[in-house]
Amino acid sequence: MTVTSATTVANLRDLGDTPLSGGRTVRSGLVFRSGQLDRLDLDVDRAVAALGFRTVIDFRTDVERAQHPDRMPDGARLLIADVLADKVNADSGDGEGPGKIPAAQLKDLLSDPVVAEQHLGGGKAQALFASVYRSLVSSGSAQSSYRLLLTELADPQAGPLLFHCTAGKDRTGWGATVILSLLGADDETLMSEYLSVNPAVRIAFASMIEGFTAAGGDPELALALIGVFPSYLEAALDEVNTRYGSMEKYVREGLGVPDETVEALRARLVA
């Protein structure tokens, strides 16, 4: 993994150089992850411009995209893959309000400590994130989104590909986990990559955390919303094992990605 220097894109990371089994690594310069691109400025971020993104996959909801539309690199294709669409629809109209999809509503929640404590205090945040992470495996919208990610990555015409959500930690974190698992990363490497976004995410949301705590919010609750924790990823991995028994079967049966596409993915991305 390589952290890419960027001033107008939060949490931009090249999955290249991630160690894989047998002493192999992920090829650099082909698959990247990040937060949203609403502030992307290639005139300022010349290092980002030099990466030459040809495909961008946006995992965000309709509301997120409308509020903070991506600024696209010149010549890149934008593909929309709303991971949480089914989860949002399933959770609407039940009186829970903000917090049902914490991964998509961080800014709203951090603006009101009272609402945040009401909906997510007392361990509710951890339970909700576990529910969201399980839906990343099981919901139809998530499965179609991650199928698109893997299919595009297997295509040599896709060029350097960037996938992202809002903060680049939950929906994007699961996408990275699936990719690296298929390529042969071990469990320790998967968890390390997943957790390694925490410093960048906390920097990106530092002003919101400070405002939240200054207004009386629980700093531990803020971190539960902002950061990623082993238990979150473990919930998704448990869902894979419970439903499918292995990542390979999840990709084949849950995502509907054929074995030949997985082999093409490995041939393209494994050095």
The whole-angstrom distance between residue 115's C-alpha and the CA centroid of its chain comes to 25
pLDDT band at 161; cut points 50, 70, 90: very high
Closest CA to 33 of 54, 3, 7, 75: 3
pTM of the predicted model over 0.85: yes
What pLDDT does residue 98 have? 35
189 pLDDT above the threshold of 70: yes
Instruction: Give the fold, CATH level 3, of 2-269.
Output: Protein-Tyrosine Phosphatase; Chain A (3.90.190)
178 pLDDT above the threshold of 70: yes
Q: What is the pLDDT of residues 20-54, one digit of tens each?
A: 999 999 999 999 999 999 999 999 999 899 999 99
Which residues is 77 bridged to in the sheet? Answer: 55
d(CA 270, CA 130): 31
d(CA 184, CA 186): 6
User: What string of DSSP letters covers 136-157?
Assistant: HHHSHHHHHHHHHHHHHHH-GG
Token pair, residue 152, equals 């595009």
